[in-house]
Amino acid sequence: MDFKLTEEQALLQEAARRFAQTEMKSIARDLERRAEPLPDEWVKRYAEMGFLGVNLPEEVGGQGLSHFEAVLVLEEFAKISGAVAAPIFESSFGPILAILRSGPQSLVQKVIPAVCKGDLVVAVSMSEPGAGSALTDLTTRGVEDGDDIVLNGQKRWCSGAGHAGGYVLYCRLSDQPGADGVGAVYLEKDTPGVSFGKREHLMGFRSTHHADIFLDNVRVPKSHVIVPAGGFKALMEAFDLERCGNTTMSLGLAQSAYDDVVTYVQERQQFGRRLDDFQAVQLKIAEMTMKLEASRLLLYRAVCNAGSGLPSLGHASIAKCFANEMVREVTATSMQLMGGYGYSEEYPMEQRVRDSFGWGIAGGTIDIQKMNIAGAVMGKRYNQRRA
């Protein structure tokens, strides 16, 4: 077991770090103020630099590297902000994996090369007004009609709704109850019958569009079926890699808060002493250091053990759950140590605190991860519907 990066990995990480730190900081602050996602021209720039689809096969336009290399790249951008990291997250850890692993080859060739070129952003639409953690309660329905699937229903909490050009949409594709009736289709934004609700204004994630998606007799070709009814398990297995992306976003966010506060406590003076001379501050720095290092190791274990496949549910859930709790603690502690400077909108720390709470909700809540972990330990799936 070797915890050192190879020369190639170190060079990739440094290239991502240098680009993110020199090019994206001011852009990230501007996107936060305007509450807008990263412009298309920057997504294309990412593609030119080789930062999109890092872990996707070369034959579909990816870089052909491992999930681990994708994590190294994503973390450097996540240190700047979720807004500038989002295209990398979506192209390497998002719904693209479901299309790649389960979709028909015609759909793979239509969608994934466009994503890797920066020509297309694809979001995932899972939740509904009555189905969030209980995802098998979906009511959005797709019915076969000739060569098409006709969709009707309403989706909610879709990150990228109205901005993304395509959507991996979870829906009910048969009358079978529960998971047996759930599958997924690929939906293009401009398909007739698709409309978007008002944009949601959230505590954090202000640069990401969130809105309801309304489907009124929307026709998609059968060739856009990614997973048919009964394929819910395959969808959720691909989603285990998304959890590693979520973990990386949490880790990068926490690391940036930590880096800033370590510099601050060595420069700021009170009572004639630097803050880091106070034992109480030293203890806080030590606690944050341990949590960050533990989180990174849990993430690395999940993606390295996956190889070119998918991480185990247990490893992915442990990594995500720990990182989601850790990022809230580290950003809040960093803000407290910086006092008024941490609380001011003139500095990025307060944004980090706001954003930190989102990652423990997105991609499966913290408590859902704990249930997954318990199930992995016991070797069973617990039925939450049973009294």
Write down the architecture of domain 7-116 according to CATH: Orthogonal Bundle (1.10)
Handedness of CA 322, 84, 120, 157 (dihedral sign): positive
* Three-state DSSP class for residue 228: coil
Radius of gyration, CA atoms only, the chain: 21
For the chain, the first-to-last Cα distance in angstroms comes to 44
Structure confidence at residue 309 (pLDDT): 85
For 113, the token pair is 């090369």
Q: For 122-230, which CATH superfamily applies?
A: Butyryl-CoA Dehydrogenase, subunit A, domain 2 (2.40.110.10)
- C-alpha to C-alpha distance for 12 and 177, rounded to whole angstroms: 47
Tokens of 249: 């976003």
**Residue 361 burial (CB < 10 Å; 0-12/13-18/19+)?**
middle
Backbone angles phi, psi at 239, to 5 degrees: -70, -20
Structure confidence at residue 67 (pLDDT): 96
Compute the distance between CA of residue 349 and CA of residue 339 in angstroms, rounded to an integer.
Answer: 10
Q: How many CA atoms lie within 13 A of 17 on its CB side?
A: 11
The answer to whether 349 touches 257, Cβ cutoff 8 Å, is yes
Return d(Cα 298, Cα 316) in angstroms, integer.
8
What is this structure's pTM?
A: 0.95
In total, the chain counts a number of residues equal to: 387
Series of mean pLDDT values for 10-residue runs along the chain (387 residues): 90 98 96 96 97 97 96 98 97 93 96 98 96 91 97 96 96 94 97 97 95 98 96 89 96 98 97 97 98 98 88 95 98 98 96 98 94 93 76
CA distance 17 to 11: 10
Q: What is the pLDDT of residue 304?
A: 94
Give backbone dihedrals phi and psi of 274, rounded to 5 degrees, phi first.
-65, 150
Instruction: Identify the CA nearest to 94 among candidates 135, 140, 58, 52.
Output: 52
What Å distances lie between residue 84 and 36, 103, 267, CA to CA?
A: 11, 28, 29
Burial category of 175 from C-beta neighbours within 10 Å (exposed 0-12, middle 13-18, buried 19 and up): exposed
Transcribe 317-384 into DSSP letters: HHHHHHHHHHHHHHHHHHHHHHTHHHHSTTSTHHHHHHHHHHHTTTTS-HHHHHHHHHHHHHTS---T
**Look-up of token digits 């998002």:** 94
Show the tokens assigned to 248. Answer: 């990386």
Homologous superfamily (CATH) of 233-378 is Butyryl-CoA Dehydrogenase, subunit A, domain 3 (1.20.140.10)
- Write the CB contacts of 343 (distance below 8 Å, at least 6 apart in sequence): 335, 349, 350
Q: Locate 78 and state its tokens.
A: 């996540």
CB atoms within 10 A of CB 283: 10
CA distance 110 to 310: 23
Q: For the chain, where do the domains classified as CATH 1.20.140.10 start and end?
A: 233-378
pLDDT for 119: 97
For 268, phi then psi, to 5°, come to -75, 135
Residues of the chain with CATH 2.40.110.10: 122-230
The reported pLDDT for the residue numbered 387 is 55
CATH 1.10.540.10 domain position(s) in the chain: 7-116
What does the DSSP 8-state code read for residue 131? B
Which residues are CB-neighbours of 4 under 8 A, at least 6 positions away? none
Question: CB neighbours of 245 closer than 8 A, spacing ≥ 6?
Answer: 74, 89, 92, 93, 94, 363
